[in-house]
Structure formats: structure tokens, C-alpha cells
Structure 1
């Protein structure tokens, strides 16, 4: 009888365990890319850093050992790694453990321990090996072969370590301890205690290795200067000072300069082809580093776009000027969430899809709301031609432990600007949204303007709105925009003042229920229409109003909410699974094109 009970217990345990494994892999709302992401041996295997490319690298995405949860050893800055000893689950990196694509799908793990082994290729012998993490939320501690290689704090910026001294021949062990309390005391955007959507944490962008020589290029900084027909370049190298920079238009060399690392220099670009959404031309750039003997020690491939963005007078009205001309910025609020990957697009094709859709619908702008994306997202925006407003993910409890929380916000803001400084598509930084976590808005806005003179700054987008749990900071009075959010709008939008352009940073938000394509929660929107045709009519009417504001009230920007449905919100152009277009796209493109075309005529009326 005892043996029978044991057999039944083991059978029941095996059945429940298998059921859990199966259901953990069943997406609540799959996308067309879910299966391929689950089946890929190395998901998201594309080269992760398009503006600083080298020929050799190794992607570490794929199945890792994983242990997580509140009851395990703390993953906050541990001195030693834990031992896995075959008891670990498997997690699919780089999908966060809260996502179905990870294979784990559990919320609020807080402590997350990852492990995998890797071997260094024979061709990398006598090279320095750099270990890269494109994003880990929030505190990460790295161990290589049991030794602590370094730690990093911040969920939205890339970081790396030179791990050469920890490596050995044959197989090497890599352990990552990630800790994320999700307590709102660090930048977290919608991924926080007062955020609207599923929390996410841990590794959520690509992990990779690359070999370099002892003297190598650590990073570059590119600043287009249209007024003087040149590109300003700064190269930061470990050592070695001589370098050459070559700009190319296709296979044709158009400029070449010999200079030095550690100091600004200029590459002349005569008769530059301007980057814009209509003509997103990119020049190729090759930078070579030399040692004292004149031998090449490193070579990186990059690209740049020649464009400028500023505020200037058109017919006496302050407007945003792209390459000296007013172009209405007509965009979508893009939150970048996925039902299968949460913060991480399931595949490269999926990452590119939202950008292609936005272009196809006739928009020229994306407002990337409350999160960052992998650098390949900005590469596609650069290459395909979409302007980008980049939000800083909000902090929620900025008034608690202010020395720590506010300094963390400033530190990560700078890191995000540094990460994406070279991308021509990013034209505006948005440090705060609707007073969420707002503090020192005026000084932070001024700081960004000084730190990155190549872009506009919208200090507090939607300053007219305010979360109920804190006092409104309001309009900082500086920066480049007077920006209000009006739902459904658009009337009531800002008008320009004597220094700033007017922006409607969010409007619209009209929903449509789409049975079979909604997240399994109570769904809502700011307003509703019953059919696809009616929703299209409503959008066309709203854009007719936007055009009136642009022509006669000085409006320069209008951002419609939003690209896709997101969890409970059903006000997207697309359903959350990207399977259904909820408006008649041909009509949407016609009205969008008409409004943007009308903005071109304003330039000729001076």
C-alpha cells in the first residue's frame, strides 16, 4: 500500500510538473513571432551595436540555468556566486523571467541568478575579451569562473567589463546575479509600483562577448554640424593616440582625416546629403586606431546622418526646424511592450515591424514612451527614417531618500544619453512626463541642453497633467517646448511662447474592442468607437483639427496615443498582438500625408 501511495504521488508530481512546464510556455496572447522566438537556439542573434561594429563577436543569448525568487540568496551585490548543481530551471535569455518567452513566467522574483558556460574561440587567443550586457534590470553583479568581475546599477543602459584576467582555457563559467525590488526608487517607467503594466526585471537585452587588442576604441561620439558642413568626432581609446577617420557615400570615399584620440576633431562633409524621414541618408564611417609604431590595433565601422534640429521663427512663430525647415512632427506614442516578451521584442523582425507600420501609416515620428530599446531599434529608425522622441523612464518615489534616488535618476539619464548620442533619428530628449517623479525639472532640462546641443529637450511633457499622489511641478518654463496632453483633444493644446515651440505631446486614445486579440483583463480607453470605419472617421476628424492648430495656432508636434494596444489599454492602431489593424490604413496615410504636406507650405509663406 505504501509503495502504491509513493507511485501515485510520484505520478501526480510528474503530471503537475509537466503541466506547469507546458502551461508556462503557453502565451496568453501570442504574436506571429512567438513560436520562432521560442524555437530559436540563439534568439535575437543580430549584431547588437550597429554604430560601433567589429568583425568578431559571440552572442550569449539562449538557454541559461536559472534560480529566482524572494526566498533564495540575495542577488544584491553578493561577494560570491551561488552553486547551481543541476537544480536550476532553464531560462531563455534575453527575455525577462516575467515573460512567457523566458520559459519562467513568474512575477516579482526580486532575486535572479543566471548561469551558463562558454568557451573562447582559438582565434581569440592573446586578445582582450569584453563581456557586454545591453540591459539588466536593475542591479547586476557578474562572476566569471567564480571571481567577481564587476557590478552595475541601472536597468536601461548598456555596460561591459574586461574579463580577460578571469578566463581560462576550455569552458568558462559565467554567473549573473540580478536584483530588482521594483520599489519605485529607481527609474522604472511603466515598469514600477505605480506603473500600468506587468513588472519586468533581470536580463532583458542581449548578452555578448567580443575580442579586442590591448589598444582599442572604447566608444565614439558623433555630432553633425550642418552650419559648417562637417562632422564633429570624439574617439575614446584605451591607449594609442593616432587614428584615421574615413567617411563614405556607398563605396566612394568623400572625406578622410588623420587625428588623435581623446580630443575633438572634424571631418569635412562637403555638400552634405541631409538626413530626414523622407530621405534618411546615412554615411558610412570607418575609424582606425594606430599604435606608436604606426600599426593598426583596432578598426570599427559606424555610420552617421547629417541633420540638425532646432527651434526657430517661421512667420514670427516659434516652430521646430529640421534642417532649417518646419516639418510638422506627427507621431505615435510607442510604449514598446509585447504580450510575449513584455519589454523585449520577440525577434528582430518584430522589433522592426512597429517602425515599418508607423512609416506605412504616414507618420514621421515615434515618441518612445517610458523605456529605452536595444540599439538595433534606433538603427532601424535611422535607416528607415523616423524621428524619435526618447523619454527617460520615470522614477516614482523621488522624494524618498533623495540623495540616493535622485542621484540614480541623474546617473541613468546621462548613461541613456551617452548610449544613444550618435543616433540621428533621436531629435528630442524627454526627462519627465506629466510630473511623474518630477524634481529639479528646470535645472535638468538646462543640463541636457548643455550636454547634448544637437537635440531638443522637452522638460515636462504634459505638464498640465499630474498624478494624484504628488504635487504638480508644472511647466518648467525652459527647454524647447510648451507641451500639454489633451485627451481626447486636440483643442486646448499649447501655443508657442517667445522662446519655445508648441507641442501636443499626447492626444487621442480612442479605443476599439477587438474580440480574440485583447489581453485577458478589463480593457479600457479614453473614449470608444464601435467599428473600424467609425474609428477611422474619428481619427481623420481629429487630424483635421490638428491641421487647424498647426496652421493658425502655431502647433509643431502632435503625438497620437498609440501604436498598439498595451495590456488593458485598447487605444492602439494595432492590437497588442500586432495581428489586426484597427483603422483603415489607406485613409490614415492620406490624412497624415496631407497634414505634413501642409506644414511644408508654411515655410513658403514667409
Structure 2
């Protein structure tokens, strides 16, 4: 049981395994590992009450999708309904007032039972949810059953790069079905913190903690916040609270020293994270003590440039699919997420665009910790319908709630290349939708730039981003030489306009957010491809040097994003192979992409 005397460790000192890095509790149990498993292709499991069976016939390694080798199943066929079951021994279960079951992501919809009784359901293949299972768990071992449903042909689901065909084709990959992010149990008090956000006002040195509680705080409830950096206490506040949603502002007085103002700021060169401990104390019951962290930093666009902490920063980004050959969209391990962030930095980039995927929060922890800037992008639905809009908006809203306190995230991207809104240039409903996503995002989080539709056909974007896979350096150099020249071109690609809304501002930064895609493979698949091809590592380096040099010669561009980090299936246009081995000496690549 958590008390004020028994504090959790500093959140910035965590090892990267905890699945929710900005709201850490001490008492938890990782449920990764073997679960029993079954396909339910005839969808008869409900009728036959599989939730009450003591064992399913197969075994799967959670949290890997059954399509992946890491799952131990490795079946890439169409199986729209699957079941999981795991028995947790009584002496393994964290002890506390309430027992919470957390699921990081289950694609796409799921139902959960505990000891054969319904615990709840969830829709949204990339978003987390938590179930209080205290009253369902008996005094002995606890059986957890999960049924997941994911229709491969349903293109109204936000699916990103998941292929709707049987085999991956073009730029799409194997599907992700069922559990693909961590599952864990934790003990917590009945009155507890459900969500915690940090709002920072850098010039004023002010921070606001936003708390959402499990229920309205009764009279006599207090919250205590202690903020530290390397053992130095920066702030401490204790205040009475009421209601379920609470805002607690406080100042970091050290920021009043103007000469020391920048010492605490978060940036890629100095990724300073500030630890926070939040203690919720009610008039009865145990205290809820959680560890968290935040970064003091600001983002903005002004004068055609991207600003970090009020200073122009040129973004050198790489497109990251977040896909591994053995585990697919699921990370192969917690350590692999750290290695991925470090690899991107080692290659000379200061940013990454997480492409068509809401990435595991443990990756965002390492981005925060190591100083890697992140573009947060939504996986697309491919249909435009009321149902597709409802699902996409629901998942986008949930991810804004999950991720908006990470200092590493500096840009939001709700749409990409008009996927799911293919007629944006001609259909006013789609323009309204793109603009609505921008305004929704700014309503929830006004602190970051938003790109309405990355690549082309912008409406209400804070950055005009362009995708251009021309492999001729001289044409690229000429095309992006001047801002007026870029804006004068009516189309970025045949049939795709740069701007589709008369109210779109044209004085915002311009970035080339997809280019390159040069394929080089030693022994790739038969259908290996890229947007152009190099025949050797030496040629790859030469072509990269010329193409990136042409892009960086432009005074009109405020940044770029190279395609892509790693080979992914048939896409062999990575800077590293699928196993993350660099295709050329890493110092040569770093010299091309570095500052």
C-alpha cells in the first residue's frame, strides 16, 4: 500500500520498462509473457462462453501480435477474432485498496472478463484503457480473459500502415491484431490520480499540474507536489482540492534569475527533465503517491521558422515506421525502444517523425530523456464516412490526453498525404474535417504547431510541409531555392495542391517532410523497392550527400524529414537494415545529416 512515507523512485531514473512513464506507481505487475490463446474465425467464443473456460488451446507471447514471429504464433492470415487468457497467482498480485488492470493497446476492439465476469470493453486499436477489477477478483488466483476483434477489411478503422490485403504490398505491412502494447496490474487507492498533465509557461517560470481523479475529491482532500532536479528541491506546494478535475499552478522561483534562466530548459542539446512527486491525500484511506516528470520548453512558429524556447531551430528529422521484422508494430523489448531513439541521434538527426503510428509511450520517455524531438502523427483510416471520422477523432483525442505532457513532442500531425480524405482538394466536407482536427488539437493543446495534412493540400496548417521524392539534386536545389518559388508552384505533385483553403496562412514555415527514399539492399526481398536505387554502400553515401546537400542549401526551408530510418519489409529505402545495422559507416551518415 502506498503512503507518503513510501515514495516511488524518481520518474527520470526509471529503466524504461514501466508502461506509463509520466504517472508511475510503485506496486505493479508486468503481465508480459505466455498467455493461452485461440483463433475464433467462426466467432463462436461468446456463444460457447470461452471466458469461463480454464484454458485456451494455444499459447502466445504477449504483447506481440499473433502475426509476428515474436508472438510464437507467426500466422499472417485473416483471423478477425482472437482470445487470450492468463491466470495470475494470488501471491503475485499487487496489494492495495483497488486492483487496476491496464492495457496499453489492443487492436481494434476488445472485451475483458475477470474470473468469467465482464470487466469492461474498449474500442481503439492504439489507445490505452484501465479497468478496476477489484470487485471481480476473488480471494484466490485471478483469471483474465481478453477477446479482440479486428476486421482486416474494415478501412474505416484508423489502421496506418496495416495492409488490408493478405500479403503486404507497396508501402503497407502485416496487420497488427489484438494485444500489442504492455498489459499490467497495479495497486492504487480508491481515491487516486487517473491522469496527470503538465503545462509550462517558460517566460514566467510557471508550471500547472492538471489532475484528473478517480472520483470527485471529498472535503479535506489535499494534493502535495514536490519538484526536484538532481536532489535540489525547486518547488513544493500543498493545497486543498475539490472536484474531479483539478489545476494546481506553482512557480519555479529559480527561473527568476535571468542569468540562470536557460539552465533548466529542455532542448535536444540539454534534455533537462524535472522530477515531480504528487501525493493525493484524502480524509480516509491510503495516499496515492505517483512519480512524474516534465520539461520546461516552448514551441512556436514565427517568421517562417520553427522556434524552440523562442529560438529558431532547423529540424533534421527522419521518418520512422516503428516496425521490427520479428515483432512488427510491437517493440521487441523495452531496451529496443531506447536503442531506436539513440540510433536516430547517432545518425545525426535531432528529430523523428513517427509515421502512421501512435508509438509506445516508453519510446517517448527515451525521446524525452535523450533529447530527441518527435512529430506525433495519427494512423489513417482509408474511408471517409461518419464512422471513420468518429473513430479517428476518438483515438486522436485519447492520444492527445496520453501524450501531450511529453516535452519531446513538438508537432502534431492528424492527417498525412490526404489518406482517408483523398478528395480534399474538391470536397468541402474534407476541408472542414481537416480544419476541425487542427482546431480540436489546439483546443486541447494550444502549445504546439499542428500540420493539418502532412505532405500537401493544407488547410489551417502551422507548417506547410511537402513530400517530394525527386532524386535529382540539381532539380531539388532549384525547386526549393526560394520561398517565393515554392509558393508560386501550384502543385507539389501531379494533381496535389499545396494549399486547398483560402484562409491558409502562407507566412508559416515550409519544410520538406518526405524526400530521399533511396533503396540499397545486400540481399533484400524479391519485391524490394525504393523511390530510387543505389547499387552499393559507397553510391548510397554519395547520393545521400548530394541530395541532402541540395535540401540544406535552401534558405527557404525550415527543416526536413528523410525517408526513412530502417528497411521495412519490401521497403528497402532505410539508412539501416531491418536489424538496425547501418548501411554505411555511421560516422559518414552522421556527417551528412548532423548539424
Secondary structure at 1:248's aligned position in 2? strand
* Residue in structure 2 matched with residue 393 of structure 1 by the alignment: 379
1:253 and 1:298 map into 2 onto residues whose CA distance is 21
* Residue in structure 1 matched with residue 72 of structure 2 by the alignment: 103
Write the deviation string for residues 414-435 of structure 1: whole angstroms up to 9, x where unpaired.
0111111111101111011100
* Residue in structure 1 matched with residue 6 of structure 2 by the alignment: none
* Residue in structure 2 matched with residue 403 of structure 1 by the alignment: 386
After TM superposition, list the pairs within 5 Å mapping 1:105-184 onto structure 2. Answer: 105-107=74-76, 108-121=78-91, 124-125=94-95, 127-182=97-152, 183-184=154-155
1:185 counterpart (156, 159, 162):
156
After TM superposition, list the pairs within 5 Å mapping 1:211-226 onto structure 2. Answer: 211-226=187-202
Q: Residue 98 of structure 1: CA displacement?
A: 0.3
2:27 and 2:542 map into 1 onto residues whose CA distance is 52
Q: Residue 479 of structure 1: CA displacement?
A: 2.3
2:57 counterpart of 1:88: yes
1:333 counterpart (297, 316, 319):
319
Q: TM-score, normalised by structure 2?
A: 0.84
Verify the 8 A CA contact 2:51 2:113 in the aligned structure 1. Answer: no
* Residue in structure 2 matched with residue 57 of structure 1 by the alignment: 28
Verify the 8 A CA contact 1:446 1:479 in the aligned structure 2. Answer: no
1:123 and 1:109 map into 2 onto residues whose CA distance is 32
* Residue in structure 2 matched with residue 298 of structure 1 by the alignment: 288
* Residue in structure 1 matched with residue 42 of structure 2 by the alignment: 71
* Residue in structure 2 matched with residue 252 of structure 1 by the alignment: 232
Structure 1, unaligned runs of 5 or more: 1-43, 464-473, 597-606
1:216 and 1:230 map into 2 onto residues whose CA distance is 25
* Residue in structure 1 matched with residue 532 of structure 2 by the alignment: 527
Verify the 8 A CA contact 2:374 2:408 in the aligned structure 1. Answer: yes
Verify the 8 A CA contact 2:318 2:351 in the aligned structure 1. Answer: yes
2:181 counterpart of 1:205: yes
Q: Residue 84 of structure 1: CA displacement?
A: 4.3
Verify the 8 A CA contact 2:16 2:365 in the aligned structure 1. Answer: no
Secondary structure at 1:433's aligned position in 2? coil
* Residue in structure 1 matched with residue 572 of structure 2 by the alignment: 570
Q: CA 1:355 to 1:122, structure 2 compared with 1: closer, same or farther past 3 Å?
A: closer
After TM superposition, list the pairs within 5 Å mapping 1:412-431 onto structure 2. Answer: 412-431=395-414
Q: TM-score, normalised by structure 1?
A: 0.83
Write the deviation string for residues 164-191 of structure 1: whole angstroms up to 9, x where unpaired.
0101111111100000002111101001
* Residue in structure 1 matched with residue 494 of structure 2 by the alignment: none
1:377 and 1:89 map into 2 onto residues whose CA distance is 30
Verify the 8 A CA contact 1:81 1:177 in the aligned structure 2. Answer: no
Verify the 8 A CA contact 2:29 2:93 in the aligned structure 1. Answer: no
* Residue in structure 2 matched with residue 230 of structure 1 by the alignment: 206
1:285 counterpart (257, 276, 281):
276
1:336 and 1:125 map into 2 onto residues whose CA distance is 35
* Residue in structure 1 matched with residue 463 of structure 2 by the alignment: 481
Verify the 8 A CA contact 1:371 1:393 in the aligned structure 2. Answer: yes
Q: Residue 584 of structure 1: CA displacement?
A: 2.9
Higher mean alpha-carbon deviation, 118-127 vs 498-507, is at: 118-127
Q: CA 1:587 to 1:290, structure 2 compared with 1: closer, same or farther past 3 Å?
A: same
Q: Residue 454 of structure 1: CA displacement?
A: 1.6
Secondary structure at 1:98's aligned position in 2? coil
Q: Residue 87 of structure 1: CA displacement?
A: 5.5
Write the deviation string for residues 110-141 of structure 1: whole angstroms up to 9, x where unpaired.
11000110134488555200100000000010
Verify the 8 A CA contact 1:192 1:396 in the aligned structure 2. Answer: no
Q: Residue 68 of structure 1: CA displacement?
A: 0.7
Q: Residue 275 of structure 1: CA displacement?
A: 0.7
Q: Residue 403 of structure 1: CA displacement?
A: 2.5
Verify the 8 A CA contact 2:55 2:85 in the aligned structure 1. Answer: no
1:512 and 1:536 map into 2 onto residues whose CA distance is 10
Q: CA 1:231 to 1:79, structure 2 compared with 1: closer, same or farther past 3 Å?
A: farther
Secondary structure at 2:553's aligned position in 1? helix
2:447 counterpart of 1:454: yes
Q: CA 1:487 to 1:212, structure 2 compared with 1: closer, same or farther past 3 Å?
A: same
Verify the 8 A CA contact 2:51 2:116 in the aligned structure 1. Answer: no
Secondary structure at 2:394's aligned position in 1? helix
Verify the 8 A CA contact 1:512 1:530 in the aligned structure 2. Answer: yes
Structure 2, unaligned runs of 5 or more: 1-14, 166-170, 256-260, 422-429, 488-504
Q: Give every structure 1 segment of 4 or more consecutive aligned residues whose post-TM-superposition deviation is greater than 3 Å.
A: 78-87, 120-126, 488-499
Q: Residue 296 of structure 1: CA displacement?
A: 5.9
Verify the 8 A CA contact 1:64 1:115 in the aligned structure 2. Answer: yes
Please, what is the CA RMSD of the aligned residues? Answer: 2.1
Verify the 8 A CA contact 1:311 1:320 in the aligned structure 2. Answer: yes
